[in-house]
Structures are given as C-alpha cells and as structure tokens.
Amino acid sequence: MEESFNITILHHGIEKVLEGKLRISAYTHQFLFHIDDSEIVLERDDQGNFRAIQIGSFSEITKKIDQSLVQALIKEMETIMNE
C-alpha cells in the first residue's frame, strides 16, 4: 500500500516541495522521494534514526545526490514524526 504526500523543506534559503510516498508492509514503513532524478528511501534504523538509501540500477546510483538536501529532508521528517 502506498500513499502520496508533499513535504516542504527549506534548502539554502529556498523552499522546495518534494513529493513523497509512504510504503507500508508488514512491520515496516518506508518513505520514497525523488531527489536529483534519483529515488531515495528513508527508513528508520535500529536506533530509530532516519537513514537514506539510494535505490536503482548501478548507473543511477553512481550519480551524485545533493547531500545537504537529503539532510534537510531527514531533519524535516524527524520533526514531523516527533510531533
């Protein structure tokens, strides 16, 4: 089951709206986002912190993703999930 949503983040003083999808399965949930033409999955690790995983083929994964944008997204997701 997937459900779409939008999240607004502030990145280098510019508001960006990212479309996300919530994927729920059995005991886990993941958040999927498209950043810099790459697909990123956010999920919680064993300590409960978000981690970002780039998914796709090898040629897609070798593309550089703006790490500060990913960090801003994680920070905003942590804020939302802790409310």
Q: Cα–Cα distances in Å, from 41 out to 14, 52, 58, 73, 78?
A: 23, 6, 16, 11, 14
Domain that holds residue 7: 2-81
Rounded Cα–Cα distance for residues 67 and 50 (Å): 14
How many domains is the chain built from?
1
Residue 76 has which token pair? 């905003």
pLDDT at 82: 83
What would the mean pLDDT of 66-80 be, rounded to a whole number? 93
3-12, 45-54, 57-66, 68-77: which range is least confident on average? 57-66
- Please give the pLDDT value at position 69: 93
pLDDT tens digits for range 3-45: 899 999 999 999 999 999 999 988 888 999 988 788 999 999 8
